[in-house]
Structure 1
Amino acid sequence: MSYLAPSEFTKKMVDAGESKVLMSTRDTIIRAFMAGAILALAAIFAISIAVQTGQFLLGALLFPVGFCMLYLMGFDLLTGVFVLAPLALLDKRKGITATGVLRNWGLVFIGNFAGALIVAFLMAYVFTYGFNIEPGPVGDKAASIGEARTLGYAEHGFAGWMTIFIRGMLCNWMVSLGVVGAMISTNVSGKVIAMWMPIFLFFYMGFEHSVVNMFLFPFGLIMGGDFSFMDYIIWNELPTVLGNLVGGLAFTGLTLYTTHVKTAAKRQVMP
């Protein structure tokens, strides 16, 4: 069958988490780098479509192409390992430790950030012909997004910080469903459809994705955004990362693991 039952794909989730924690440093960094780079290209692709057509819905509808490509290639996003790696620890898989999970998260963060940052510089070069002309409407839009989603939150103090955190939670609730969606089908079309739906939802709703932001905010700074790198870290990346961790693990990883891997005893039917 082309569809796996929850009891089957949840075991694949735990197996994937174990594989990622035990993966070599080299492979972890390479896969994370490529994931960050591809997602960055998808983000600027979606923004370009939205600016050029005036239809943000169309940009959001096509953004998942990047997510589908990177997961079909076996690359890793921080949002995905936030969900999968702890399940191997929870399942008491041999050789899996809390230190190993944290190591995996750290390496994937570094790889994602490096990939996204490289694409930010490459796209900035392309948009400005080697920094010789103005960036144009797409660059201006990226700069304005950076300002609105850092200083705009900062104006509201703690309430703004918590708003980003919650948007990060909601984001990885959806994104992690996309990660799991790739596991519920054994054919490419089924995987793509299952991934596409929640990724489209998160992007259109403007939820905060830590890896997308690793590209968007450095790119916005290069394009002349009126905010600082520390504004980005404090008023976006930090609460987004924490929200992605909590939302993905709580709403997707632990719920699926608890009810499909470690199921409760079945109710006894009285005669």
Structure 2
Amino acid sequence: MYGDELADIGDAAAAQIELIDKRLPAYLIHAGMAGAYIGLAVLLVFALGTPMVGTPLEPLRGVVMAGAFGVALSLVIVAGSELFTGNAMIMGVGALEGQTSWAALGRVWTWSWIGNLFGSLLVGAMAAWGGVFSDPTLVYAVAETKMTLSPLELFIQAVFCNWLVVLAVWCSFRLENTIAKLVMIWWCLLAFTGTGFEHSVANMTVLSLANFLQITTGQAAPAAVDWVGMAYNISIVTLGNAFAGLVMMGGAYWYINESYKVDLPNGNPHSGTFSSADDD
């Protein structure tokens, strides 16, 4: 049923571990690009949202900010880069399909996360010292909320978030048309940002930016906003994002596809060889 998509995802997983084995610095740069692309989208979101605070347009701020974030995953997928949250599904499928190993999953998750962090910190620091935000009020408010949620709240919201993000990635493997891919990316990211769910890589930029702005603007942030709070948020959100990609998406579709191959009691087996077009 989903054999073609799972095979393509498995190939993508194998390609990543091959690059890590051949030239780790190149892979880290590729992952750093993903962190930077997500960070650039974060800057856009706050650049659009900050001027709307305290104005008659403020009720529309959430929609505007959520709608703008679609550029993040659009850049990651169309331009090409390695995003940890997408790899949560991709490497899981690769291991389940036997095209990579579970050890390879751990390596790719680790190095893509580190590369994403580097790209995110770079964008956050450049924005702070570049004077992109003279008014850090909205950034501080969002960062404070993220740093003060309970562990259970963070985990569940991270699961919801990456369920939607990886749905966009999954759809990109099922679709051939670039416009169709971009539409699905936009809808899935609108759902996650509009509801305020937690994305580990986006938070790397948001929370580091809040910390950097305290230095560059001299405006104190709420007491909860600090580097410890950032580490607290991202550590739990990373776990929730990984769980969603591996279990809610990759594992679920793999299990469905494997189950479709099982022989039926009447002796007629499902072949599992239908293409995407046959599903429509």
Could you tell me the TM-score, scaled by structure 1's length? 0.86
**161, 171, 175: which one pairs with 1:185?**
175
Give the partner amino acid of 2:213.
M
Aligned match of 1:49: 48
Question: Would you say 1:106 and 2:92 are equivalent positions?
Answer: no
Does structure 2 retain, via aligned residues, the 8 Å contact 1:11–1:261?
no
Does structure 2 retain, via aligned residues, the 8 Å contact 1:209–1:244?
yes
Any idea what the Cα deviations from partners look like across 1:32-62, whole Å, max 9, x if unmatched? 1001001101011012212224321011012
Any idea what the Cα deviations from partners look like across 1:61-102, whole Å, max 9, x if unmatched? 121112101211221111011111122222222xx3332221
What's the offset of the Cα at 1:112? 0.3
- What is the SS of the residue equivalent to 1:73? helix
Does structure 1 retain, via aligned residues, the 8 Å contact 2:7–2:97?
no
What's the offset of the Cα at 1:108? 0.6
Give the partner amino acid of 2:196.
G
Aligned match of 2:273: none
Gaps of 5+ in 1: 129-134, 154-159
**C-alpha RMSD of the superposition:** 1.9
Does structure 1 retain, via aligned residues, the 8 Å contact 2:167–2:188?
yes
Distance in 2 (alpha carbons) for counterparts of 1:30 and 1:176: 22
What's the offset of the Cα at 1:269? 4.8
Which aligned segments of 4 or more residues in structure 1 are displaced greater than 6 angstroms?
none
Question: Would you say 1:62 and 2:68 are equivalent positions?
Answer: yes
**226, 229, 236: which one pairs with 1:228?**
226
**111, 123, 128: which one pairs with 2:127?**
123
Distance in 2 (alpha carbons) for counterparts of 1:45 and 1:261: 42
More off after superposition, 259-268 vs 111-120: 259-268
Question: Would you say 1:8 and 2:4 are equivalent positions?
Answer: yes
Give the partner amino acid of 2:200.
S
Distance in 2 (alpha carbons) for counterparts of 1:90 and 1:23: 20
Aligned match of 2:200: 210
Distance in 1 (alpha carbons) for counterparts of 2:105 and 2:141: 36
Distance in 1 (alpha carbons) for counterparts of 2:2 and 2:162: 19
Distance in 2 (alpha carbons) for counterparts of 1:92 and 1:10: 11
What's the offset of the Cα at 1:264? 4.3
Aligned match of 1:243: 240
Gaps of 5+ in 2: 53-57, 215-220, 268-280
Question: Would you say 1:148 and 2:145 are equivalent positions?
Answer: yes
Distance in 1 (alpha carbons) for counterparts of 2:26 and 2:262: 40
Could you tell me the TM-score, scaled by structure 2's length? 0.83
Give the partner amino acid of 2:130.
V
Aligned match of 2:89: 83
Distance in 2 (alpha carbons) for counterparts of 1:17 and 1:11: 10
Alignment CA distance shift 1:219-1:257 (3 Å): same
Distance in 2 (alpha carbons) for counterparts of 1:51 and 1:167: 24
| Identity score, percent | 22
Does structure 2 retain, via aligned residues, the 8 Å contact 1:49–1:56?
no
- What is the SS of the residue equivalent to 1:127? coil
Any idea what the Cα deviations from partners look like across 1:157-215, whole Å, max 9, x if unmatched? xxx11110111111110011111121111121111112221111111111100000111
Count matched residues.
250
Aligned match of 1:132: none
What's the offset of the Cα at 1:103? 1.2
Distance in 1 (alpha carbons) for counterparts of 2:120 and 2:138: 18
Pairing of 1:26-41 with structure 2 (within 5 A): 26-41=25-40
- What is the SS of the residue equivalent to 1:190? helix
- What is the SS of the residue equivalent to 2:98? coil
More off after superposition, 260-269 vs 247-256: 260-269
More off after superposition, 8-17 vs 166-175: 8-17
Aligned match of 1:97: 101
Any idea what the Cα deviations from partners look like across 1:213-248, whole Å, max 9, x if unmatched? 1111010112223322112112x1111000001112
